[in-house]
Structure 1
């Protein structure tokens, strides 16, 4: 063991999950180290387009211990302001973050507690490991269109601004928050834009004077512990852009975005789409109206003095693209020179080589406590509730995990009747941490 650094808890990732984890571990007096391959909150800086703002207002999308000092509470922080916030938060709590260190492998020790952690900066022996790398790990591009088909193809993580793309029309595939905002930006920049729309939830940006984040809170919807059947991966179309507004595909068609159904297949330069645009938009409208109904019922039940908002219930007819759908698009004839895939992410835990995954390769855990003792997951969607992958939600999940680690440490340190601690090999951080 000579020359191998010993740490009690190793946290992998210094985004919002890793910083939240560090705060709660410190509050519990638990020694730990946070390793980050890039900078703190790097993906907020470089995996987002230039004009991106948070999808929730600043009063909501933050940790309890610090407000944004440069954003009005009801405004939407830019991506760089969010990244700066987490860097400042890490400094405020004196988080023991080491940047520029890549974790390449984690394996369990044989015959003694803890894990061997191989990094770009050497080997570490850790008693507990928290995988705080979040949900945005590997950009997902479905294998539909060959790379040599002609148009430039990039994931939304690689899109930065309209000027970056070659002249010509742009096809955006995916109509969650990223897809609708990118399509809107490109169209307002004068581009011809096609948008492929799949199933989605479409909440109001605000209703009766309150942001939808507030409504999800008072209605208890952030705390729902399991998604409805089939809704585990449904995208949410919401935007904080231009001061925040409700996403409505009718408005996108109104500014000239050409709407299409879900992308189905590609043959010889022609893309085919599902005849589901009308159904997808109608289902989004239904989701929108159900939230308004729930909000109205809450107001009546609580006698809340919130102004009525009848205009919010006025929904126009289906877009013409939905009633007369375009089912095929010849990319060359349409002048499409770029395709932006706003199709989400897959998980990548190739470095975590322990028995903490189910048969499908998904993290096996309960509220972040992995099936492999001593391993924890943090920042994943639905880790404990609907809000788990959001900024405020990950903070609360981190508190639970820190408590679990503290409990395990108390058992392991109990001396027992013979005065011998139950754990051999409990580690501590280096003196200079």
Structure 2
């Protein structure tokens, strides 16, 4: 039953409520402030808390600094083609807040969101009730770290932590470390441990990889110039399934480079197939290491092909490069490993996060609990999502283009409020 929120005189009122004080929520705030629309941003921690607390010490961007282009705050530092370190990213973000002074309420958690019979929204928060005409859910998708139940089968003397809690190799106990998951975080953490001279094991899943520089230029330059990054997911060859894909792995470390797990294997990193479980002192892996490495290389080569096609179509004179030749192949598929004999004393679970929308009492989710939206607009008038992966394009949810998605939602917000709307972007 919808609450009669008009009979809640103790609640404060606002035109638009934004839940989440990260890059998405504050991009939305910037546009609303420019439009003169009253709003408030709720952040249960400190703004940009994920950047501050959930990144390891050597973390840096995997995309060039010039792609940091929050609305009204493009990167203006001395190294547009570099890759900012964690502390530099936080400085860039803090400068954004200082630049436009958003109506931000830090340390205020939204514990329930409902829609009243009159169509407005009631937000129960740790600092009292609020009523909003419209609401933007911008609290992100990296909310609940995933650690499998199989972790309970490991002995207590093995340190276990999620990738969001990993800081550096020195914080791990002496011995070998196993990283489970080969997405961006897993590969970079495994490299971090390996480059520190420690024995690193990595469970390789189906994450794709990307070239860094190809035919004389950064691949991000080629993909930007060709318009690939502007392709809406509806027009993408993989359609909506692209939203389910893991990010390609590469790194901004050492000035930016590729991550080739085959090369790391030659250097002594131990690669295994997908993690399958724990039993009787043994770690169990699927016999899919060769398949997963081949699939990652296929993605790598597909990106090269996209660049080749663009160069040919545009008539660009660019140097040729030889085809990629795998420097290492697994000679056998090891499906079990005695973790004590292997000297494994720590495990980093880098298998992602699940969203947490348990506080949202609105019919805006599918049977899997995922948002149902088109470019952030839901079937509930006045309720929006922002900052989702591939909400519209590759740059959605990223520092690159989350501002474009916020600008698009501004049009709907203005329309519902009966305000003039500029031409659609």
Determine whether 1:261 maps to 2:273.
Answer: yes
Task: Specify the alignment match of 1:431 in structure 2.
Answer: none
Task: Specify the alignment match of 2:262 in structure 1.
Answer: 250
Q: Give 2:138's match in structure 1, choosing from 129, 132, 145.
A: 132
Q: Find the aligned partners of 2:145 and 2:416 in 1 and give their Cα distance.
A: 35
Q: How much has 1:70 moved relative to structure 2?
A: 4.2
Q: 3-state SS of the aligned residue for 2:278?
A: strand
Q: 3-state SS of the aligned residue for 2:228?
A: coil
Q: Give 1:42's match in structure 2, choosing from 41, 46, 49.
A: 49
Task: Specify the alignment match of 1:113 in structure 2.
Answer: 119
Q: 3-state SS of the aligned residue for 1:386?
A: coil
Task: Specify the alignment match of 1:391 in structure 2.
Answer: 399
Determine whether 1:298 maps to 2:305.
Answer: no
Alignment of 1:62-77 (within 5 A): 62-63=69-70, 65-77=72-84
Q: How much has 1:280 moved relative to structure 2?
A: 1.0
Determine whether 1:26 maps to 2:26.
Answer: no
Q: Find the aligned partners of 1:71 and 1:276 in 2 and give their Cα distance.
A: 44
Task: Specify the alignment match of 1:89 in structure 2.
Answer: 96
Q: Find the aligned partners of 2:317 and 2:38 in 1 and give their Cα distance.
A: 48
**Does the aligned pair in 1 maintain the 2:110–2:124 contact within 8 Å?**
yes
Task: Specify the alignment match of 1:219 in structure 2.
Answer: 226
Q: Find the aligned partners of 2:18 and 2:370 in 1 and give their Cα distance.
A: 19
Q: Find the aligned partners of 1:291 and 1:217 in 2 and give their Cα distance.
A: 13
**Does the aligned pair in 1 maintain the 2:69–2:401 contact within 8 Å?**
no
Between stretches 24-33 and 63-72, larger displacement belongs to 63-72
Task: Specify the alignment match of 1:356 in structure 2.
Answer: 364
Between stretches 231-240 and 64-73, larger displacement belongs to 64-73
Structure 1 segments of 4 or more deviating over 3 A?
Answer: 67-71
**Does the aligned pair in 2 maintain the 1:9–1:130 contact within 8 Å?**
yes
Aligned CA distance change for structure 1 residues 167 and 179 (closer, same or farther; 3 Å): same
Task: Specify the alignment match of 2:253 in structure 1.
Answer: 241
**Does the aligned pair in 1 maintain the 2:29–2:102 contact within 8 Å?**
yes
Question: Aligned-pair RMSD on alpha carbons?
Answer: 1.9
Q: Find the aligned partners of 2:177 and 2:12 in 1 and give their Cα distance.
A: 51
Q: Give 1:323's match in structure 2, choosing from 319, 323, 331.
A: 331
Q: 3-state SS of the aligned residue for 1:369?
A: coil
TM-score (norm 1): 0.89
**Does the aligned pair in 2 maintain the 1:172–1:342 contact within 8 Å?**
yes
Task: Specify the alignment match of 1:5 in structure 2.
Answer: 12
Post-superposition CA distance 1:301-345 (Å, at most 9, x none)? 112243x1415x3323443xx232221111111111100011111
**Does the aligned pair in 1 maintain the 2:250–2:258 contact within 8 Å?**
yes
Q: 3-state SS of the aligned residue for 1:388?
A: coil
Q: 3-state SS of the aligned residue for 2:141?
A: coil
Determine whether 1:310 maps to 2:321.
Answer: yes
Aligned CA distance change for structure 1 residues 316 and 359 (closer, same or farther; 3 Å): closer
Q: How much has 1:216 moved relative to structure 2?
A: 2.5
Q: Give 1:403's match in structure 2, choosing from 411, 415, 419.
A: 411
TM-score (norm 2): 0.91
Q: Give 1:103's match in structure 2, choosing from 110, 116, 134.
A: 110
Q: How much has 1:96 moved relative to structure 2?
A: 1.2
Determine whether 1:180 maps to 2:191.
Answer: no
Between stretches 166-175 and 25-34, larger displacement belongs to 25-34
Q: Give 1:344's match in structure 2, choosing from 334, 340, 352.
A: 352
Q: Find the aligned partners of 1:252 and 1:175 in 2 and give their Cα distance.
A: 13
Between stretches 64-73 and 325-334, larger displacement belongs to 64-73
Task: Specify the alignment match of 1:426 in structure 2.
Answer: none
Q: How much has 1:298 moved relative to structure 2?
A: 1.1
